[in-house]
Structure 1
Amino acid sequence: MSSSQAPDTRRAGVFLGAALAFMITMVGTTLPTPLYPIYQHEFGFSDLMITVIFAAYAVGVISALLITGQWSDQLGRKPLLLAGLFLSAVSDIVFWQADGLGMLLTGRVLSGLSAGIFTGTATVAVMELAPRSWGRSSTLVATAANMVGLGVGPILAGALAVLFAAPLVLPFAIHFALALVAVVCIWRAPETVTRPANIKLRVQTPKIPPEVRSVFIPAAIAAFAGFMVFGFYTAATPAFLGQQMGYTNHALIGCVAGLPFIASTVGQMCQGRLPEPGRLPIGCAVLLVGVLIIAWGIAYEQLLGFILGAIVAGIGQGITFRAGMGAISAASSPQHKAATVSSFFVVAYVAISLPVVGIGLLGIVAGQQITALTFDLIVALLCCVALVLLLKPHRLGRGATRDAGR
């Protein structure tokens, strides 16, 4: 190996290590999904209480995104990432020691804080650590690490719950060990930010620089719709499959809950094959088709529709997510990049969390099926709004469109 190849190989290792740490952290955030029925049986929780537990996660995620969204531009990426891993590991300990509602709420808040810190910061850090030879693939690796981690979490926990004893302990013990591996990966990574002479830490008010707005608005609406689907599958799948369709196998619940995230990764990989000007609208259209299939599955209580809709909607979300992230990142100035990306994720995590709280509350009055169909209709309308904006002539500038595949 030549001397010029060796540094590039080392950098590739660091880059992939950071992506692995990102994925591991996100695995921990969705581990509880297939375990909710067990918690309900163990502690006598109602469906509404499960919604409250999920809301605690939402509070953690959104708080961290708003408070720390631009801190890594000031303090550096590594300190924030190590703090996120610390919170993730502590949440694992809290979960495997949980003996009631208080500890579960605490664990979810801590998990949400780790996700909120990691999401914006790690996305930017992974792209910054990429070797030049990786080019546009760095954005795919960053966004795929996020989605694969979110998808693997419920699949892993569901499989462990079926195959082994102690389903409320083993998943979190395994993730704790993985978090230690992630710490090593981040520790080895070089810092990509030069600290300013005067550090100013402040709560981030979501603010989009003027040069990014034409890209940000339609991409954010599409992201909101896609992440609403993710929120539904993450929070409502156990109750809907178990109580409405009669499927109680934890591995099945975990696989169905993880499907949209895995499909999103497939969509991200495929979007490079699409014509550049059409990536965002095509992604929105595919997402809309997936949402309509989900509505069929809900209305007729068909597991096939629930699964097929998750796959199609996930692919559509992946196309729009990667295209939008690439365009937003390319349009942002270096000093505002992490803050702008964090604003994008604020939109995404508001969508993945808060509407689900509405599902829980409406479900008490209207029933699960009507509530799910109403939720589905709202997502479909958002897809249509995003499509209208994206299909307006010159909505995306040439430069933004050109970089949307990054």
Structure 2
Amino acid sequence: MSRTLSPTAAFAGLAAIFAAFFFAAGAPTPLLALRQQEWGFSAGTLTFAFSVYALGLLVALLVGGSLSDHLGRRPVLVTALAGELISMVAFLAAPDIGWVIVARAIQGLATGLATSAFSAAIVEHAPAHMKMLAGGLAAASVAGGLALGALATGAAVQLLPDANTLVFGTLSLVMVLAMVFVVFTSETSDPRPGAWQSLAPRISVPSNIRTEFLAGIPVHVAAWMTPAFFLGLSPSVLRLQFGLDGGLVTGFTAFLGPFVAAIASFYFARHPARRSTIAGKVLVLIGMVVVVAGVLTTSLPILWLGAVLGGLGFGGAFGGQLRLVAPHIRPQDRAGVFAGIYTVAYLSFGVPVIIAGQLAQRWGLIPTFELYAGVLIAVAALAIVVQAGLGRRASSRTAAVGA
């Protein structure tokens, strides 16, 4: 009797565990807003506590992003899950914001180590008829996990007396069970020499996908700045601009966009990747314009409509861009390329929010938000132009070959 799970079971389970990492990443959003009220730290500290996760993730991607290409997928996944477990225990015991920042940094390191390895393992375990959808599923796991983490924790904050213990106690158990599951998956990457050398910070972008990778940078920047606003800045906007600080409204506002993005990933996966990417960027641009209108008029329904449009755009653009790249990556380069993609994504997810948190203390929250939104809209417009140009070039080449 085989000790390993079938590829289909492993595929589904790994996608669920990958989503659990991002559930855990979304969970602190309502809790940080609650802790800000209890412990009295500044908006700049709140955004730093949120975004230090992305910086830790970036470090892990740069240093260990291609490690699973050398050691194999399973050892790296188990190590990442152990790191995530440590961070959950630290959240569980945190007596002050300093502990939370440390826990968030460890969580980022663990997620960064896991991201490229999980993305590669999901593609490699995917049944043949789902290979083209695997990249979209990885994107859906990220967005869906962030959404459900924020919503579930927001509900717990609103309805339960000790949400912190329930949320992070449960997640600690999930990480233990996930480690057991990964042990019983088959290894899909043969170990090869060079593990120590691979720890030198670098991004692997083979020449055959370099143009597509570079063209995807503005796509990822605008796409990931969208959920970063809702997960990192919206709690302060809701409290100071709307006068709302309940856990449920904070969690739902953070939940809406990423949840729609997860559903949209599956819808857009049925359409050509380039078309999905361009349509997604258009929706991101329109969504942020609507968000600005909602914030400036203090209309929560308009803000939520902008979150829905932005979420649709994130699902189409990020999943589409992954599908443009993933089929052309050689197996031995897969983890390194995903490390490059997620490096761009998480710089976009973390750094602008940190900058905004610091500027808000000098300029005020709303002028800072307007600048943030303006940058996002401009980058989204650039992405549309670049992607449309590549699409026209590809169509011209196809027409020339046909002629």
- What TM-score comes out, normalization by structure 2 length? 0.93
Structure 1, unaligned stretches of length 5 or more? 1-5, 402-406
Given that 1:286 and 1:316 are in contact with CA atoms closer than 8 Å, whether structure 2 keeps it comes out as yes
Residue 139 in 1 paired to residue 138 in 2? no
Q: Encode CA deviations 1:321-360: one digit per residue, 9 max, x unaligned.
A: 1111111112222221111111000000001101001111
**Shift of residue 7, structure 1, vs aligned partner:** 12
CA distance in 2, matches of 1:108, 1:357: 14
Partner secondary structure for residue 392 of structure 1 = helix
Q: CA deviation at 1:298?
A: 1.7
Please give the secondary structure, in 2, of the residue aligned with 1:225.
Answer: helix
* Cα distance in 1 between the residues matched to 2:128 and 2:357: 46
Map of 1:73 onto structure 2: 69
* Residue 108 (structure 2) pairs with residue 121 (structure 1): no
Structure 2, unaligned runs of 5 or more: 399-403
CA distance in 1, matches of 2:214, 2:192: 30
Partner of 1:21: 17
CA contact (8 A) 1:328 1:341 kept: no
**Equivalent pair of 2:5/2:185 in contact (CA under 8 Å):** no
Match of 2:330 among 333, 339, 354: 333
For the residues of structure 1 that align with 2:117 and 2:172, how far apart are their CA atoms? Answer: 21
**Match 1:155 to one of 151, 154, 162:** 151
Task: Work out the CA distance in 2 between the residues paired with 1:127 and 1:372.
Answer: 37
Report the equivalent of 2:401: none
Matched-pair contact (CA < 8 Å) for 2:51–2:354 = yes
Aligned to 2:57: 61
Identity of aligned residues (%): 25
Cα offset for 1:185? 2.1
Q: Secondary structure at the match of 1:206?
A: coil
1:203 offset after TM fit, Å? 2.3
What is the number of equivalent residue pairs in this alignment?
395
Q: Partner letter of residue 124 of structure 2?
A: E
For residues 110-134 of structure 1, give each alpha carbon's deviation from its aligned partner in whole angstroms, at most 9, with x where no partner exists: 1111221122211111111112233
2:356 pairs with 1:359: yes
Letter in 1 for 2:138: A
Q: Give the whole-Å Cα distance in 1 for the aligned partners of 2:88 and 2:282.
A: 38
Native 8 Å contact 2:273 2:323 kept in 1: no
State how 1:296-315 maps to structure 2 within 5 Å: 296-315=293-312
Candidates 43, 65, 76, aligned match of 1:47: 43
Distance 1:390 1:374 in 2: 24
Asked whether the 8 Å contact 2:11–2:125 carries over to 1, the reply is: yes
Q: Given residue 35 of structure 1, which amino acid in structure 2 is its aligned partner?
A: L
8 Å contact kept, 1:215–1:396: no
Name the CA distance, whole Å, in 2 between partners of 1:360 and 1:50: 8
Distance 1:393 1:363 in 2: 38
Divergent runs of 4+, >6 A = 6-9
Following superposition, the deviation at residue 184 of structure 1 comes to 2.2
Match of 2:6, SS? Answer: helix
Give 1:317's match in structure 2, choosing from 314, 317, 333.
314
Cα offset, 1:207, TM superposition: 4.1
Distance in 1, matches of 2:229 and 2:178, equals 28
CA distance in 2, matches of 1:14, 1:207: 26
